Structure 1
Amino acid sequence: MRVIEFHRYGGPEVLLGIEAEIPEPGPGQVGIDVVYAGVNFADLKARAEGYRVPSLPFRPGLDVSGRVRALGPGVTDLQVGQEVAAFLPGGGYAEVAVAEAATVFALPRGVDLRTAATLPTVLPTAHALVHEAGRLRAGESVLVQGAAGGVGTVVGQLARAAGAGAVYGVVSSPDKVAHAQEHGYDRVFTDPSGFAEEVRRATGGRGVDLVLDPVGGQTLRHGLDVLAPFGRLVSFGNAGSEEPWQVGAAALSPLGRSVSALSVLQLAHTAPGALRELAERSFALVADGTVRLPVTAEFPLAEAAEAHRLLGSRRSTGKLLLKVG
């Protein structure tokens, strides 16, 4: 079978197309004939920095859609040939992938395989940011970094559906503003380093109730500064690759602010049952039309490096896919 992997860290050029043995599922696992594989920023960080790479060589790919090829011992709730989406710790850039059964999901009625490939990573993350971790209440305001990306596109719609009083976004360039506004955002700021002052003006100095931040570093600090009294900040990544920082009671207690963190990658490992429940809730919102995640670019598996270049350029919006089978 054809796969894409890397044997050293570096730019998109380190991604290699090779032939590999077809894997067989073990106990509690499912073999999948992959039709589409999602391209995520975590794949770029894995390739460039070794983010969550246990060893080399490594095959990227966190989310796939396709058809069940084979069932490992103990798997009884799926059938060979059934259309599914799956969340993986890696290995999705391949014609055949193996996933733990707990992270393989039968497709909701009306959801096709192309759409399904956008779901396993983005939808549970966005749902948890707005509801489980963010606890957004009707009438509250939210500020989202990366508002035109995959997660940001869904968060804007979920926040609007939850009755948010105002949905603010930050994007890296003016050409992404229209995309964000089409997906739930009231105001979109285009200065990633100077958004704090704009947020204060937009809110009359009060700040926002919820900040969702995948960037980290100084951006996260600025987000903390614009939290309203009793506001919450949820960190869900470190796209800026800055050194982690700590915040304590001295910074949070004067206004009752709080900070939490979310990683669907870690949740899949530590609490797969919780991820499954989260995925089922979020997938249902796609099936009933509450949210949609547009696929804005599609590449053949052999052109995975080009997909990485586009995502790494910060010029893309929505979701990028690899067409595999």
Structure 2
Amino acid sequence: MGITIDMSEELLSPDPAPTSAGRRGLNRRVLLATLGLGAGAAVVGTAAPASAATTWSNPTLGRITAGYKSPSYPTHLGTDVANSQGTAIWAASSGTVVGVRTNSYPGDTRTGLLPGRTGNGVLIEHAGGYRTYYGHLHSVNVSVGQSVTAGQRIAGMGTTGNSTGNHLHFEVHLNQVTTNPYTFLQGRGITLGSTAPAAGGWPTLKQGSTGARVTVVQYLLTSRGYSTVADGDFGAATTASAKRFQSAKGLAADGIVGPVSWPELVQDVGSGSSGDKAKAAQTGLNIHGAGLLVDGDFGGVSVTAAKRFQSAQGLVADGLIGPITWAALV
């Protein structure tokens, strides 16, 4: 991935690295914190007490490469989280989009959405005087005035503006004063970059669910060795297969395939892949109108369809269905 540097502001040493327990949180649990938001004076680097229940969520997944300002580097006003181009960016809390910039490009040094910032960006206003800023985006999926919920996909990670690599520059503001995003979320039970987000880009399927996404799950379970009829009906047999799979992975064996189980269930599918995992990918692409024959042979036609889908989603169009593409696909 390489070292990612946000050139629009000075950098400092990264925030404390997530603990191994925090990293395991992505595959073990979804942590959501409900805190109230209230008035009160803002103090730089701290978060004000809260009132009126609000859910906060991790805005993306990746590796922290730069942290919030310090006495030595006072102008870096957020935390940088690096990952691949197109990695999903989610709203950190419910609110209203109050600013969007989409006309930037890599190397662009013009002032962006906020003074001193460059690149494509999104600014969201939340209850209690809070705002969150998401910078250096590759693609944007929201517009000004749109209401969003915690965990809703709002953009794709990029390197637009004065940046040297794909990353999210994430800021938290209270009454127009910035605060440390890492410690702000940490105080709400969230490890920035590691904790599974509120929605995570993954649907939640369980007994009684029907449709093509259920068929995808059934093919993936079979490809993992848990034979399941791919009929699009999440019934007792599919639930039993899901429970066996979850138990083998050390997950809560509840038979519900959601943001915790999906990342463990999906497999990379690319040119030359075959069998049930290829059928799962072809079924997923057909959800988006690819019109593929679900034959388990991921050849040239399927790869082309995958590239078209990735390009439309602002992802790297390499034809490989990996975790990032899977999350967008289903």
Say which structure is richer in helix. Answer: 1
Q: TM-score higher than 0.5 here?
A: no
Q: TM-score w.r.t. structure 1 length?
A: 0.28
Say which structure is richer in strand. Answer: 1
Q: TM-score w.r.t. structure 2 length?
A: 0.28
When Rg is computed on C-alpha atoms for both structures, the one with the higher figure is 2
